[in-house]
Amino acid sequence: MTCEGEPLQWTYHDGSTRRIVVTDVETMFPSGELIVSQTDRDGIITTCNDAFVIMSGFEKEQLIGAPHSILRHPDMPRAAFADLWNTVNQGRRWSGYVKNLRADGGFYWVYATVIPKIRGGEIVGHTSVRREPSRDKVAEMSAVYAQMIQDEGR
């Protein structure tokens, strides 16, 4: 499934807006790299590494303070993120394949692990570590997600 050419408009945390035209241009995940970010309990990015900045195509200043959903590609089913949030809000680790949207409208696939940060019995944030995905699994999940999106009526 692809939403190539579909314009998206984002409203950022500071109230500014930006249009992104989705393309079918994939950026391959660099072997041996890890993308790491931390968010507050609501998914607002508080820190990120240089690999995250490079892969996302956003400036670090655009990422810090923005919701992690800034990377949400329209090819990702709502149910996948509902599962992620349901899992981490129960204090459990979540892992899965995610197609992310780049600042230039392209995309990149990751195998993500999201770990809730718990202090005093309360979830105070999340750490997300993304690594290179298996290409076979990407092909499989592309088909699964396309069916899920169809089931969602999109």
Which pLDDT tens digit goes with each residue over 8-29?
A: 555 444 555 667 888 899 999 9
Q: Is 7-151 CATH 3.30.450.20?
A: yes
Residue 25 pairs in a beta bridge with: none
Q: Residue 93, CB half-sphere, CA atoms under 13 Å: how many? A: 7
Judge residue 31's burial from the number of C-beta atoms within 10 Å of its C-beta, 0-12 exposed, 13-18 middle, 19 or more buried: exposed
Cα angle 133, 137, 142 (rounded to 5 degrees) comes to 105
Judge residue 39's burial from the number of C-beta atoms within 10 Å of its C-beta, 0-12 exposed, 13-18 middle, 19 or more buried: buried
Stated length of the chain: 154
Strand 94-101 versus strand 45-48 pairing type:
unpaired
Amino acid 2: pLDDT: 47
Amino acid 100: pLDDT: 97
- Render each residue's pLDDT in the chain as its tens digit; 154 residues: 445 555 555 544 455 566 788 889 999 999 999 999 999 999 999 999 999 999 999 999 999 999 999 999 999 999 999 999 999 999 999 999 999 999 999 999 999 999 999 999 999 999 999 999 999 999 999 999 999 999 998 7
As a dihedral over the C-alpha atoms of residue 60, residue 64, residue 67, residue 72, rounded to 10 degrees, the angle is 10
Amino acid 18: pLDDT: 66
On whether the CB atoms of residues 56 and 71 are closer than 8 A, the answer is yes
Which pLDDT tens digit goes with each residue over 100-114?
A: 999 999 999 999 999
